[in-house]
Amino acid sequence: MIHKKYFAEFIGTFFLVFIGDGAIIINALFGNIIGHIGVALTFGFIIFIMIFSCNEISGAHFNPAVTIALYISNKFKIKEVILYIISQLFGAVTASEVLSIMFGKNSHFAITVPAVAFSKQAVPISLILEVLFTCLLIFVIMSARNHPDAGTGLKGLVIGMTVFLGALVAGPVSGGSFNPVRSLGPAIVSADYRYIWIYILAPMIGALLGVSLYIFEDY
């Protein structure tokens, strides 16, 4: 029997990718109808909603960087880390497959890649953006989890706003992922692994920095 916390991680990650990447695809297909700010808001709102819905069940990670950050800070056992990440990846791949069935080849708009047309330095800039915004996200999550006066709703709002700001600022350059499975899901379904190393490496570095920053501040 699948433990409900792993199912919650699957569901939360599924809707994060389905709704967030779905907004990107629809925006591309229908003449920027949602807009960049609208897409960024979509990611922020779905994170807020799913944290509110799943926090009491699984802790509402939906992101291997979050799970690994909690492991580094001695909040998780390695067995749970593995099962959480499998659940998150399965949710992201399933959502990407559903989008692929719905939108066909147009689902490629959801693939996360640096905006190489923007600059010759797009790859290193994207790496830096993904590291720094993951660091910020992890720092905020650690702070929100341990804030004595923050209920689930406030935690979800603050974390959702952080995701929104990251997608708003970094989105046009790096894609604004900050989440390995959010990028891996579309990449696996599309068999397009261009630059995927950025979206795996950067969140791991960002998670380590975010935890270190929180611990330093706590001292």
What residues have CB less than 8 Å from 74, skipping those under 6 apart?
none
pLDDT at residue 118, as a whole number: 74
pLDDT at residue 218, as a whole number: 61
3-state secondary structure of 98: helix
Domains identified in the chain, total number: 1
pLDDT at residue 1, as a whole number: 46
Q: Which domain holds residue 80?
A: 4-218
CA gap 120, 130 in Å, rounded = 17
Enter the pTM of the model: 0.94
Q: What is the mean pLDDT of residues 175-180?
A: 96
Q: Quick one: pLDDT band at residue 219, thresholds 50, 70, 90?
A: low
Tell me the pLDDT tens digit for each residue of 159-172. Answer: 999 999 999 999 99
Residues of the chain with pLDDT > 70, as a percent, come to: 96
Place of tokens 């960024």: 40
Segment among 76-85, 144-153, 203-212 with least mean pLDDT: 144-153
Tell me the pLDDT tens digit for each residue of 65-87. Answer: 999 999 998 778 888 999 999 99
Residues of the chain with pLDDT > 90, as a percent, come to: 83
pLDDT at 119 over 80: no
Tell me the pLDDT tens digit for each residue of 1-19. Answer: 468 999 999 999 999 999 9
Place of tokens 């950050």: 69
Q: What CATH number has the domain bearing residue 52?
A: 1.20.1080.10
pLDDT at residue 69, as a whole number: 94
Other Cβ atoms less than 10 A from the Cβ of 131: the count is 23
